[in-house]
Amino acid sequence: MPRRYDPDRRRRIIDAAIRVVGRDGIAGLSHRSVAAEADVPLGSTTYHFATLEELMVAALRQANENFARVLAERLPEKQQGREELAADLARALGEWLGGDRTGVELEYELYLAALRRPVLRPVAAEWTEDAAALLARHTDPVTSRALLALMDGICLQVLLTGGSYDETYARAALARLIPCPRAASARPVP
């Protein structure tokens, strides 16, 4: 029987891994469970991903790309003021948390798995660097990292408590971290 051309198979396997982890946690991830979820032969999963770590790296990278896309869509290229930036970030969090929570939970589960699986650490660090660079277009590098830490904290609190996301609170908290622009009249007189 000739081999079927399936250019999207690798992507379908990654998507299936994300669904498996979302449903069963990392403990439920295996080549066999992913092959069944993707409806592909077991050999396909091991062909594309020799180890489960390789599959987890690909899944984490894809999950990171999803949030990065939401963040990039919410932040315009032009420089923003303090309140606008806080509002856009709060809306991005609301969009992220308001969608399929399984995806958000998965991202954090994979992200936190890096504590025990060093192979995931570079991918987690990539996301942090990329998101910080995106935010640094609107504020300084230290503030951009502080904003990311706060956004992570807000997401984790919502996920762990099962509570609802409060965009007004998030906007106010984020605004507190963003420095106020100096007024022109505040310059010292020579």
Nearest-10 crossing angle of helices 141-161, 82-98:
30
Shared domain for 27 and 68, answered yes or no, is no
Give me the number of domains the chain comprises.
2
The CATH number for 27's domain is 1.10.10.60
If pLDDT is split at 50, 70 and 90, which confidence band does 83 have? confident
What pLDDT does 182 receive?
Answer: 52
| Cβ within 8 Å of residue 76, ≥6 positions away | 88
**Distance (Å, whole) CA 173 – CA 164:** 16
Shared domain for 39 and 63, answered yes or no, is no
Shared domain for 131 and 42, answered yes or no, is no
- Tens digit of pLDDT for each residue in 7-34? 789 999 999 998 898 888 888 999 999 9
Report yes or no on 190 lying in a domain. Answer: no
Shared domain for 97 and 129, answered yes or no, is yes
Q: Residue 187: pLDDT above 50?
A: no
Higher pLDDT, 174 or 190: 174
What's the Cα-to-Cα distance from 180 to each of 34, 121, 138, 151, rounded to whole Å? Answer: 49, 34, 12, 19
Average pLDDT for 73-84: 78
Shared domain for 30 and 67, answered yes or no, is no
Shared domain for 71 and 97, answered yes or no, is yes
Higher pLDDT, 132 or 65: 132
Shared domain for 14 and 69, answered yes or no, is no
If pLDDT is split at 50, 70 and 90, which confidence band does 184 have? very low
**Distance (Å, whole) CA 41 – CA 4:** 12
What pLDDT does 116 receive?
Answer: 87
Say what the pTM is. Answer: 0.77
- Expressed as residue numbers, the domain containing 138 is 57-178
Terminal Cα-to-Cα distance of the chain (whole angstroms): 85
If pLDDT is split at 50, 70 and 90, which confidence band does 3 have? low
Report yes or no on 166 lying in a domain. Answer: yes
Report yes or no on 185 lying in a domain. Answer: no
- Tens digit of pLDDT for each residue in 50-62? 999 999 899 888 8
Angle at 134 between CA 166 and CA 95, to 5 degrees: 30
Report yes or no on 118 lying in a domain. Answer: yes
Report yes or no on 76 lying in a domain. Answer: yes
- Tens digit of pLDDT for each residue in 102-151? 777 877 888 888 888 898 889 888 888 888 888 888 889 999 999 999 99
- pLDDT above 90 as % of the chain: 42
Higher pLDDT, 74 or 4: 74
**Distance (Å, whole) CA 139 – CA 83:** 12
Shared domain for 71 and 157, answered yes or no, is yes
Phi/psi region, residue 169 (left: phi>0; alpha: psi -120 to 50; beta: rest), is alpha
